[in-house]
Amino acid sequence: MPVGSSTRTMLVGGRTRSFRMYRPTGLRAPAALVVMLHGGGGSARGAETRYGRDPVAARSGFLVAYPDGVGRRPPLPGPSTPPSPAAPTAARWS
């Protein structure tokens, strides 16, 4: 698996699934894997860009997978602000 961000695929139940994977430089095995799920209407690339977990993974030494959904729906109308990665317990969804 390459260092940094990459787009990967795997076959699950006869269906090809895509996901983004982030591997920090210097990661040692065994390493934890965090799976970040996006909301309906989102994407793997959008979750990786917005949620700010790659820098946390680089500092803490874990892998991050951002799977793409299946059967997407359009985004809900209105503003939506993801919580801050620095203070997830203090943030609120709008």
* Residue pLDDT, tens place only, 26-83: 998 899 999 999 887 788 999 999 999 999 999 999 999 999 988 766 656 666 555 5
More confident position, 9 or 88: 9
- pTM metric for this prediction: 0.72
- Round to the nearest angstrom and report the end-to-end CA distance of the chain: 37
Residue spans of the domains in the chain: they are 4-67
CA atoms within 13 A on the CB side of 52: 7
Residue with tokens 């895509």: 18
Nearest Cα neighbor of 54 from 78, 74, 75, 36 is 36
What is the layout of strands, in order, in the sheet containing 4-12?
4-12, 15-23, 63-67, 33-35
What pLDDT sits at residue 39?
Answer: 80
